[in-house]
Amino acid sequence: MTQFQAPSQKKLKDISLYINGQFVKSNSQETFENINPFTNEPINHIAAGDAADIDAAVAAAKRAFHGEWGQMKLDERLDYVYKIGDLIEKHSEEIAVLESYDTGLPISQTRKMIARSAKNFRFYAEMVKSHLYGEAYQVDDEFINYSVRKPVGVAGLITPWNAPFMLETWKIAPALATGNTVVLKPAEWSPLSANRIAEVINEAGLPDGVFNVVHGYGETAGAALVRHPDVPLISFTGETTTGSEIMKNGADALKQFSMELGGKSPIIIFDDADFDRALDACTWGVFSFNGERCTANSRVYLHEDIADDFIKKLKERVDRIRVGDPMDPNTQVGPLVHRNHYDNVKGYLQLAKEEGCEVYSGQVPAEHSRGNFVPPTLLLNADQHLRVVQEEIFGPVIAVMTFKDEDEVIEKANDVRYGLAGYVWTKDMQRGHRVAQAIDAGMLWVNSQNVRDLRTPFGGSKHSGIGREGGFYAFEFYTETQIIHVAMKDHYIPQFGK
């Protein structure tokens, strides 16, 4: 692990685009300001790419796909993928510090995410080596048909600002390992670690053009990537409304999309649940990553027999959660990523009051008034039809509701437009399976917080997404299946016009 000096309140050097193996200014020379969420002071300026830069990046990626990268032997390609993982590990402390500085995520949490990011590369190198294969179909004695999986081309990756490095790497790793080339458009509020991945890939010595980063706004750089005729794949993680807009914009070019979208996931706690473990999981599941977590359990349904005790304990936890400097290893909740998002979350707290909830919040230390801090918050006496129960708030806020029986809670859990994740706590395992399977969501956990093996599918149903990432599922997106039909004898062919 390399030693890295925490930037604390320092300004950092400005950030360029990474196109065709070079760090370059944007074609327009435009930049935008990157702000520290802890102080609301500028960190640096970021090159603002637009359609011209996307054109250059896609052209470089296309050349690399049809050139050196496309023709490279598998072992050599995968050696590069392993090397990226090794370099992330080598620079992991520095990347974690940058990530926390840029996003406000607590350093204890970004450290874990960066370690996981390195694993994404090793995992996909191994997956491709051992599991990316086709099938063969013997058709009597007449044909042998076989399928091959081929890389598709230039993959456009569009990523959000929550857990940015982690989410970028879990798209980049399968895209590169399966042989595609990449243009990444990272979120404008979290450019530091996206630039660092470009530096890492540059250090790994990948051929020019295999990996490119175009920073910039969604409506300009992002939209240009989506519309580009030479980009057949768009993998998007972000808000549901943005996903829908992107699908419209890519429709004329018949893009293939992978959509990882928003969530409003329930945690259901039955009266027989392990109370203390459920409390730990519920608290961590909504307040980790500052609540800016797609799979956050942002709605809790408590069986009425345990509700009073559970709410009492939740209040105690909220009072004690350590809110503070994201660089402090003891911090559990840091500032939200940007002032605009802070205003948005605060707006929801005001709305909750207007909708009749009791809003119970923890404390933000007075010395942190410059930061985008929203304290951990419970929305008590919430009701299913409220906007604060139906809409994704994406902050450290949980709506608290009660239920009497299984049918009622399943109906309530499913009564939102999202279907990303869900959590069930009960010691009755028949009920655990039954309720988990009855919930309309892509990922369920029973008696567990959100832990995920890299082999398992990740993604949501309903308005939370289309397709799955992770494990084999990434192969479905990043490779094209081709079938070759080969005749083994002179089979009958109709003789039209003979």
Contact pattern from residue 367 through residue 406 relative to ligand NAD, giving x for each residue in contact according to CB under 6 A and a dash for the rest: -------------------------x-x------------
Contact pattern from residue 247 through residue 266 relative to ligand NAD, giving x for each residue in contact according to CB under 6 A and a dash for the rest: -------------xxxx---
Task: In angstroms, give the least distance from the CB of 215 to ligand NAD.
Answer: 9
Residues 6+ apart with CB under 8 A from 90: 1, 2
**Count of residues touching ligand NAD (by CB under 6 A):** 32
Q: How many residues does the chain have?
A: 498
94 or 260: CB nearest ligand NAD: 260
- Interface of this chain with ligand NAD, residues 292 to 351, rule: CB under 6 A: 294
Pick one of 30, 89, 199, 239: the residue that binds ligand NAD (CB under 6 A).
239
State the catalytic residue, choosing from 260, 292, 392, 469. Answer: 260
Decide: is 34 part of the binding site for ligand NAD (CB under 6 A). Answer: no
The question of whether 89 is a catalytic residue gets the answer no
Residues 6+ apart with CB under 8 A from 247: 257, 259
**Each residue of 47-65: b (16+ CB within 10 Å) or e?**
bbbbbebbbbbbbbbbbbb
Q: What is the largest CA-CA distance in the chain?
A: 92
The question of whether 357 is a catalytic residue gets the answer no
Segment interacting with ligand NAD (CB under 6 A) among 7-15, 206-214, 222-230, 422-430:
222-230
Asked if 483 contacts 145 with a C-beta cutoff of 8 angstroms, the reply is yes
Residues 6+ apart with CB under 8 A from 302: 269, 310, 311, 400, 401, 402, 403
Instruction: Report the number of secondary-structure helices (H) and strands (E) in the chain.
Output: 16, 22
Segment interacting with ligand NAD (CB under 6 A) among 112-120, 124-132, 134-142, 184-192:
184-192
Residue 377 belongs to what H/E stretch? strand 377-380
State the catalytic residue, choosing from 294, 357, 392, 469. Answer: 294
**Each residue of 189-198: b (16+ CB within 10 Å) or e?**
bbbbbbbbbb
Decide: is 219 part of the binding site for ligand NAD (CB under 6 A). Answer: yes
Which residues on adjacent β-strands are paired with residue 44?
34
Rg (the chain; Cα; Å) = 24
Asked if 394 contacts 292 with a C-beta cutoff of 8 angstroms, the reply is yes
Contact pattern from residue 452 through residue 471 relative to ligand NAD, giving x for each residue in contact according to CB under 6 A and a dash for the rest: --------x---xx------
Decide: is 242 part of the binding site for ligand NAD (CB under 6 A). Answer: yes
Pick one of 246, 323, 336, 379: the residue that binds ligand NAD (CB under 6 A).
246
Q: Looking at the annotation, which residues are catalytic?
A: 260, 294
What is the contact surface with ligand NAD in residues (CB under 6 A)?
A: 158-162, 167, 185-188, 218-219, 222-223, 226, 237-239, 242, 245-246, 260-263, 294, 392, 394, 420, 460, 464-465
